[in-house]
Amino acid sequence: MIASVRGPVRHVGLDHVVVEVGGVGLLVHTTPETASGCRTGQELTLETTLVVREESLTLYGFAGADAKALFEQVQTVSGVGPRLALAMLSVHSPADVRAALAQGDLVALTKVPGIGRKSAERLVLELKDKILAMGVEPGLAGGAGAAPGGGAGEDAVHTQVREALQGLGWTTRQADGALGAVTKGADAPTDVAALLRATLRELGR
C-alpha cells in the first residue's frame, strides 16, 4: 500500500498530477480542485490510496487524511468504486458528504454524476449510523456554492473543462449548460482551473 507520496510536481492535469518520487514519476488521480492548486516544480505531499485491479494499479491522492478516509469509506458500499467516490469529493467537500449521509439528504447525494436515488438511499442506509457515530452533525454544510459570473472564455479552455466534466460523469449538455451559466458576466474565469471550479459549483447547486 502506498499511503502517501511527496516530491516535486512534474505535470498537472485537470484531474491528476504526476509527482516524482525517488526518480519515478507517479501519476496520481485527484479531484479537479486539488489538481488546480498544484504547480509544476512545487514540492507536494498527498495522502494516497492504491487501488489494485487485475489489469491495473491506480493511485488516488488527497490533500488531507479526511478526504482519503471518506474516499475509502464510501467504497464499502456495494456499487461504489473509486471513480464514483472521487466524483463525490469533486462535487462536495468531505464534511458536506458526511453531513448529507447523516441527514439522509438524497438531493445532495444525487447531484453527484453516477448516483441515482436508489444508490443514494443505499449509501445513507449503510453509512448513516457510522457517520453519526463519528459525531457528525446532521445538516448539509452548504455543499457547492453559487458559481461566479463570467464572460465567454477561449474555446480551448472551454473544451478542456467540458472534457474534464464529461470524465467525471456529466453529459455534454450538462457541461455546456454549466459553462454557459458561469461565463455570462464580465468577471468570468478565463483559466482552466478557475473555470472548472466554477462549473463544478454550478453543477452542484
pLDDT given at position 150: 38
In this prediction, residue 139 carries a pLDDT of: 44
Q: Could you give the maximum distance between any two Cα atoms of the chain, in Å?
A: 50
pLDDT < 70 stretches in the chain: 135-154, 205
- DSSP string covering 112-146, please? STT--HHHHHHHHHHHHHHHHHTTPPSS----S-P
* Cβ atoms < 10 Å from Cβ of 28: 26
pLDDT digits (tens, 9 = 90+) for 129-157: 988 887 655 444 443 333 333 333 457 78
Give me the domains of the chain, ranges plus CATH numbers: 4-62 (2.40.50.140), 66-133 (1.10.150.20), 155-203 (1.10.8)
- The gap from C-alpha 85 to its chain's centroid, in whole angstroms, comes to 8
pLDDT for res 137: 53
Q: Report the first-to-last Cα separation within the chain, whole angstroms.
A: 36
In the numeric block, which cell numbers belong to residue 103? 441527514
Query: Cell numbers at residue 14, please?
Result: 485537470
Q: What does the pLDDT read at residue 80?
A: 93
CA-nearest of 3, 205, 40 to 108 is 205
Instruction: State the DSSP code for 35.
Output: H
Cα Rg, the chain, nearest whole Å: 17
Pairing of strands 16-21, 4-12: antiparallel
